[in-house]
Amino acid sequence: MPVSGATIFINGTTKYCISNDSGKFKIENVKDERFEIVCTLKGYTTLNYLYKKAPKNYAVRFEINPIQNIVGIVIGNGREYLEKTFLNSLLGIVEARNCEVANMNALTFLKPKSVNEIHVSLTEPLIIFNEHLGYMIHVAFNDISITNIQDQQNEMFTWFKPLTSKSSDKIDKWQKAREEVYENSLLRFMRAVYADNLMQRGFQTRFITRIYSNDSAYNHTGVLMKKTNTMLSDAGIIFPDTNRRYIDLLDKKPIPTSNYRIDEEGNEISIQLNNQILQVIRLENANEYSDYKMLPVKEKFNAFYLSTIDNQKIFIEPSGAFYNASDLLVSRLWSHRSLGSKLPVDWIPGVF
């Protein structure tokens, strides 16, 4: 039976449409060859489909199913505490202050009896107004698990709708905020990797190699650091491994993108970190600092870290969208949880 009124969108962008009375929909001007299309409707499960190599004309059919009845429970300090904690985790603690959720009652909290985690479900897409960046964000997911009220897993889908205003001052404020966020964003980094102009855009990257205690080099750290021109790193705080002993060694010199950027067939670009952690630092003049010890303390502190699960490849589109996002581990402001500081991947600097 055709379903009207469903929202269909390209994940992470501003592109969307609403299904008509016949259940049909059309989205035009999708430039990336690899993209994810998502279907949401209140009371139904969220569905998604990833096009890995979309033809010029393509079609997708969604068969959506009603959400089963979910009974939420109040846990610990109560629902209000869980709502605040979840939004801080989703949006970022600072960013959450500039955001307002229009339908908080769409959230359902569940806690399994056997594991120390809380499951969050939605009865309808979450509508968030980000007043700082000037977007309404449509957030959809079927189930998210939060372990120790911090880590989020499973798929989440977003669609951005720019807010409007008759005030030119407010529009200028939104544009300025977007430009500032973009400068240090994962989106800008991914676009720079795709274009292979990382240094020109002010980024430096270094590998962090993790040496485990069962490796013979573990007991000869000093010799290894001299041989590889590395230094001890505190990346274990960022991506800890509580099951084994290890040390992390950071490259003193920045590395070229050729160490992890791969030109795939058909003009596709991917990154593969070879079981290492990638440290990313954003600098105004990246060429001025050829050694990590030369970097200002502020830049060292604000470094970002990327790692992948099981050394999986991450494919990058010209827009800066990347797949498979669930295999990429990201720290600090680039975290998947900092939705309040994210821009749609079809955002263009200088264009409002």
> 267-324 pLDDT, tens per residue?
789 999 999 999 999 887 777 788 888 888 777 777 889 999 889 999 999 999 998 8
User: 178-192, 210-224, 298-312: lowest mean pLDDT where?
Assistant: 298-312
Whether 49 is in a domain gets the answer no
Residues 192 and 266 in one domain: yes
Task: Give the domain-ending residue among 163, 197, 222.
Answer: 163
Take residue 66 and report the two structure tokens written for it.
């009603």
What ranges in the chain are assigned the alpha helix state H? 79-91, 168-183, 186-195, 221-228, 297-301
Domain that holds residue 154: 79-163
pLDDT of residue 151: 43
User: Mean pLDDT, to the nearest integer, of 110-136?
Assistant: 83
Q: Annotate 108-132 with b (16+ C-beta within 10 A) or e (fewer).
A: bbbbeeeeeebbbbbbbbbbbbbeb
Lowest mean pLDDT among 74-83, 221-230, 250-259: 74-83
What is the spatial distance between Cα 33 and Cα 49, in angstroms, rounded to a whole number?
A: 13
Evaluate whether 37 touches 49 at the Cβ level (below 8 Å): yes
Within-domain flag for 6: no
Q: Can you tell me the distance from the alpha carbon of 4 to that of 12, in angstroms, rounded to the nearest whole number?
A: 23
Maximum Cα interatomic distance, the chain, rounded to a whole number of Å: 71
Does residue 199 sit in the same domain as residue 335?
A: yes
> 7 lies in a domain?
no
Alpha helices in 184-260 (DSSP H): 186-195, 221-228
What was the pLDDT predicted at 89?
Answer: 82
Q: Which of 142, 136, 112, 137 is nearest to 124 (CA)?
A: 142
Give residue 217's identity as a one-letter amino acid code: A
Q: Considering only 150-154, 157-161, 215-219, 251-255, which range has the smallest mean pLDDT?
A: 150-154
| Residues 172-192, mean pLDDT to the nearest whole number | 94
The answer to whether residues 94 and 188 belong to one domain is: no
Per DSSP, 66 falls in state: B
Residue 98 has pLDDT above 80, yes or no: yes
**Token pair 């951005």 in the structure block, residue:** 160
Q: Tell me, what's the pLDDT at 90?
A: 87
pLDDT above 90: percentage of residues in the chain: 50
Q: Residue 125 pLDDT > 90, yes or no?
A: yes
Evaluate whether residue 321 is within a structural domain: yes
Q: State the helix-helix crossing angle for 168-183 and 186-195, rounded to 10 degrees.
A: 60
Query: Could you give the CA distance from residue 191 to residue 316 in angstroms, rounded to a whole number?
Result: 8
Query: Alpha helices of 60-136 — where are they, by DSSP H?
Result: 79-91
Number of domains the chain contains: 2
Q: Does residue 194 carry a pLDDT above 50?
A: yes
pLDDT score, position 108: 86
Same domain? For 145 and 216 the reply is no
235 phi/psi in degrees, rounded to 5: -60, -20
> Is the link from the previous residue into 148 a cis peptide, with omega within 30 of 0?
no
- My answer on whether 240 and 275 are in the same domain is yes
Contacts of 292 (CB under 8 A, 6+ apart): 206, 231, 250, 251, 252, 253, 300
Beta-strand relationship, 126-130 and 35-40: unpaired
Same domain as 310, residue 245? yes
Residues 6 and 26 sit within 8 Å (Cβ to Cβ) = no
What percent of the chain shows pLDDT beyond 70?
88
Burial label, 235 (beta-carbon count in 10 A; 0-12, 13-18, 19+): buried
Domain membership of residue 124 (yes or no) is yes
User: Tokens 């041989």, residue?
Assistant: 227
Q: Which range, 22-31, 74-83, 142-151, 253-262, has the best average confidence (pLDDT)?
A: 253-262
330 and 291, same structural domain? yes
pLDDT given for residue 174 in this prediction = 96
Rounded Cα distance between 139 and 120, Å, is 13
d(C-alpha 142, C-alpha 252), whole Å: 43
The residue among 163, 190, 225 that closes a domain is 163
- Residue 69 falls within a domain, yes or no? no
pLDDT of residue 123: 87
Tell me whether residue 308 is in a domain: yes
- Are residue 191 and residue 315 in the same domain, yes or no? yes
In this predicted model, what pLDDT tens digit does every residue of 314-351 receive, in sequence order? 999 999 999 888 788 887 667 656 889 999 999 999 76
Which residue type does 1 have? M
Confidence of residue 7 (pLDDT cuts 50, 70, 90): very high
- Residue 26 belongs to a domain: no
Closest CA to 349 of 323, 317, 325, 320: 320
Beta bridge partners of 282: 203
Chosen domain end from 163, 197, 231: 163
- Considering the domain architecture, whether residues 215 and 149 belong to the same structural domain is answered as no
What confidence tier does 153 reach under pLDDT thresholds 50, 70, 90?
very low
Q: Are 114 and 244 contained in the same domain?
A: no
Q: At residue 135, does pLDDT exceed 70? A: yes
Residue 137 sits in the same domain as residue 252? no
pTM (predicted TM-score): 0.88
In a shared domain, residues 188 and 300? yes
- DSSP 8-state assignment for residue 194: H
DSSP secondary structure of 252-297:
SS---GGGTEEE-GGG-EEE--TT-EEEEEE-TTGGG--SGGGS-H
